[in-house]
Amino acid sequence: MSDSLLIRQVRVVAEDSPLSAEVDVLVEGGVIRSVAVDLPVPEGAKVVEGRGRLLMPAMFDAHVHFREPGFEAKEDIASGTEAAINGGITGVVMMPNTSPAIDSATVVKAVLDKAKAVARIPVYTSGCITKGRGGKELAAIDGMRALGVRMLTDDGDGVGDPAVLYRAMQYAGEFGMFFASHCEVHELAGPRALNEGPMSYRLGIKGSPACAEEIMIDRDIRLAHATGAHIHIQHVSSRLGMETIRWWKERGDVRVTAEVAPHHLMFRDEDIGNYDTHYKMNPPLRTAEDNVALLEGLKSGVFDLLATDHAPHTPFEKAQDFTSAPNGITGLDTALVSMFDRFIARGEFGWDQLVKRYSAEPRRLMGLDPVPVVEGGFAEFLLFDPEASTTFTAEFMKSKSRNTPFLDQTLRGRIDLVVRGVEILLER
């Protein structure tokens, strides 16, 4: 972009304060030089009128599946990062359930090198806890650590043997790494198609009980308590799971963080209707009561962050019968707008809460600094129009996959501009 960018008469969003009055924001050389009223227009500056719109830190998603290497027909790093930009996101953490799995320095290097070559935003990757995500033998953890990996997870599955996870925590916790836990007792979860309850009985499909998730949430936090490791609980879906995390946090003697996904706040098992595979995911959608409890957990801080668990699949895969279709929902293109439409626009919480949970805290989890819109700060922000709308057509979305209930729906809100440093990544 031009060396100078002036956004005029915009309201600034921060994680720890209400919306500002209308101000002008001047960016020069990728740095926010001034936030003030009635700034003069520098010669040659690009001017964006911001009246009625909101300027906020760009989002950061700490849980995405880009399917590369091995499953590039679903998604790859290039398309996944463009979907992120389309959703106002300027940093992501990849999960390691690829083929080959990201379980060694060799695979980590290949993934990061590819990301540097094709992505316009920073891409971080997690590494496996166990070799090949097999749950038996520890992965080559030290080699991955040397390349900057901080998060260890076998996401897609839990580590079934607690002794293996215990040893991993003893070993890697000393390196400053942390463990992101997909909590599921595999033997109890069954086919993992949908929540066990009235809806599963009506559809005639064996359901997955919430306790399959809740048991392992408690188990993995207990292992972290015993070893002194940092445990991060992924994609929590049930009220009792959330309450378990709250109980451990209130004890204060274990480092535990947790995330919730937008789909577990918005959708429930009843939405599956006539076997709609767009609503099939793991953990499965639970009940309306779980939705209410999880939302309270986000607002009260039981959940440190929001993360999409962006899980793309091809239309052919999702067109199978409900039991055979893979689990997963895309989320990068839709998360920010849908959170505004479903919650902020309806007064459930404010923009400050969303910026904290979907921008600042995910970065802190990864040892990164937040990117507030303040004088002297790095320019990494988005411009949002709450009076406009977005229709999520196949042409609009940048992900290779379209497995989302929001396909062809129109929601309130629109992302108009995404800036990182000296580059305008998106402008509508």
Helix (H), strand (E) at residue 222: helix 211-227
Tell which residue, 209, 206, 288, has the closest CA to residue 241.
Answer: 209
Residues 6+ apart with CB under 8 A from 342: 265, 266, 348
Both tokens of 404, joined, read 């989302």
| Helix, coil or strand: residue 268 | coil
Distances (CA, A) of 6 to 2, 26, 28: 10, 5, 9
- Rounded to an integer, what distance in angstroms lies between the CA atom of residue 405 and that of residue 317? 16
Pairing of β 23-28 and β 31-36 = antiparallel
Pairing of β 380-391 and β 410-420 = antiparallel
Which residue stretches of 97-177 are H helix? Answer: 105-118, 141-146, 162-172
Longest dimension (CA), the chain: 68
DSSP result, 343-407: IITTTSS-HHHHHIIIIIHHHHHTT-----S-TTSB-EEEEEEEEEEEE--TTT--SS----TTT
- Rounded to an integer, what distance in angstroms lies between the CA atom of residue 418 and that of residue 48? 12
- Rounded to an integer, what distance in angstroms lies between the CA atom of residue 295 and that of residue 10? 29
Both tokens of 300, joined, read 């009260």
Computed on alpha carbons and rounded to an integer, the radius of gyration of the chain in Å comes to 21
Q: Do residues 255 and 231 lie in contact, with contact meaning Cβ atoms separated by under 8 Å? A: yes
Q: Do residues 76 and 398 lie in contact, with contact meaning Cβ atoms separated by under 8 Å? A: no
Active site residue 309: yes
Provide the sign of the torsion angle of the four alpha carbons 230, 352, 393, 272, taken in this order.
Answer: positive
- Rounded to an integer, what distance in angstroms lies between the CA atom of residue 428 and that of residue 414? 9
Q: Which of 154, 309, 341, 385 is catalytic?
A: 309
Pairing of β 89-94 and β 423-427 = unpaired
Which are the catalytic amino acids?
309
